[in-house]
Amino acid sequence: MTTTLNDRVALVTGGSRGIGAGIALRLAQDGADVALTYRQDAERAATVVKQIEALGRRALAIQADGADPAAVQGAVDRAAAELGRLDILVNNAAVFTVGAMDELGSAEVEQTVAVNIRAPYVAARAALRHLGEGGRIISIGSNVGERVVFPGLTLYAMSKSALVGLTRGLA
């Protein structure tokens, strides 16, 4: 185990499964305390928290639906308050909506924009109040933001392209 992130605190949105859980665990292996958000599976989030704690790090699971801006802001503020600071925000939570444009309705568009674009913006804006010198905001994109590899990915590609724009703007 390396300790390059000792005394650092990270928040990983969508950190209870998949890539997010992998990121949360790696941050903990590198010495960070980690908060993570999850939408509905508290048991899965608790498992990741236990794995982080087994590495000797503090961990916190926060239920927050990325489609709810108040929940996203609250998760950032709670992570900083309960873990004492915030050094790293990883915008990882996303929805993967697939379908032809003429098959997708307003609900799918609104959900994708809310979770994949607005939530990272809200989280980044909230994190800026907590991040000190050397703080980092990391956004997990997709190759689909640059190259659509099969039909039906227009909406998802749009959202990931917007995330790239947000990330470049913040940089």
The residue from 94, 122, 156, 158 that is catalytic is 156
Say how many C-beta atoms besides its own lie within 10 A of residue 133's C-beta.
Answer: 5
| pLDDT, tens only, 62-121 | 999 999 999 999 999 999 999 999 999 999 999 999 999 999 999 999 999 999 999 999
Amino acid at 105: G
- Shortest CA distance to 157 belongs to which of 166, 140, 145? 145
Query: Does the pTM of the predicted model rise above 0.85?
Result: yes
In a domain, 1, yes or no: no
Tell me the one-letter amino acid at 62.
I
Q: Is residue 19 part of a domain?
A: yes
Q: Which domain holds residue 22?
A: 9-170
- What mean pLDDT is predicted for residues 132-148? 91
* pLDDT attached to residue 3: 67
Q: Does residue 4 fall inside a structural domain? A: no
Q: Which residues of 76-102 are buried (b: 16+ CB within 10 A; e: fewer)?
A: bebbbeebeebbbbbbbbbbebeeeee
Number of other residues whose CB lies within 10 A of the CB of residue 64? 25
Question: pLDDT band at 149, cuts 50/70/90?
Answer: confident
Per-residue pLDDT, 148 = 87
- Summarize pLDDT for 13-71 with one digit per residue, the tens: 999 999 999 999 999 999 999 999 999 999 999 999 999 999 999 999 999 999 999 99
CA distance 46 to 7: 22
CATH of residue 119: 3.40.50.720
Q: Is 156 a catalytic residue?
A: yes
Number of domains comprising the chain: 1
